Structure 1
Amino acid sequence: MAKDLFPIINVAAIEPVRAFYERVFGGTLAYRFPPEGDPVYLTLRIGTGQLAIGVGTGPAMYGQVPLPATGHAVDICLYVGDLDAARAAAPEAGGQVVVPAQDTPWGERVAYLRDPQGTMLLVIQDTDG
């Protein structure tokens, strides 16, 4: 069962988009990567939810550039208690495993799945229980 769900907006430049969400919706920085220098990814808290913003100008782990011009501007991110179970269930439910589970440099274990209609899902192993 999924625990958290939040969108990742892929952009050409993070700071203007960050400023928009902070100003218009009161977003506050919850996470950034890397910790120093220009961010390539950040998460904002907005109300009780979260919104992630990532640089989407080059191919992502699944090999495609996630820009609006390609018809794919947002990845749906889900934290799950059992990444292997989600990965195994995807094909059985009409989906596809695009990137098998792997450890990332930022310390999470992730996989990319595609739902039956083509939506890209970044599925992350929940380590908080």
Structure 2
Amino acid sequence: MKLGYTTIYVKNVPETVAFYEAAFGLTQRFMHESTLYAEMETGDTVLSFSAEEVIELDGLAFAPNEKSAIPAGWEICFITEDVDAAFEKAVAAGCTPVSKPHGVPWGQTISYVRDLNGCLVEIATPMNLEG
């Protein structure tokens, strides 16, 4: 198995794409003409956004991502060498700060923000797997 993509269901795909461009410096790779689906350039694994109205779960209910709600039990993580600058850029673009940049025992510097949809986003230095 190989992770192909992660899809986050959102109320407004174009608004979310624009937000991720401003907050995290990503670029749009593709947006369907309906604006109900888009993909971002993120490396080998695609980050995509899909409109809540097109979720296909055969009637299974889901909890929508909302800024005012408790965040869901998942996160996406962006890797950077400068967590402090990336955290400040994300907050300046409208992310809600959750945890300021700090070191963790396994050697990374990490921080957390919530995006415009209330999704939890980690910003971290690369993991050093050699030591």
Q: What is the TM-score when the length of structure 2 is the normalising length?
A: 0.41
> More strand per residue: 1 or 2?
1
Q: What is the TM-score when the length of structure 1 is the normalising length?
A: 0.42
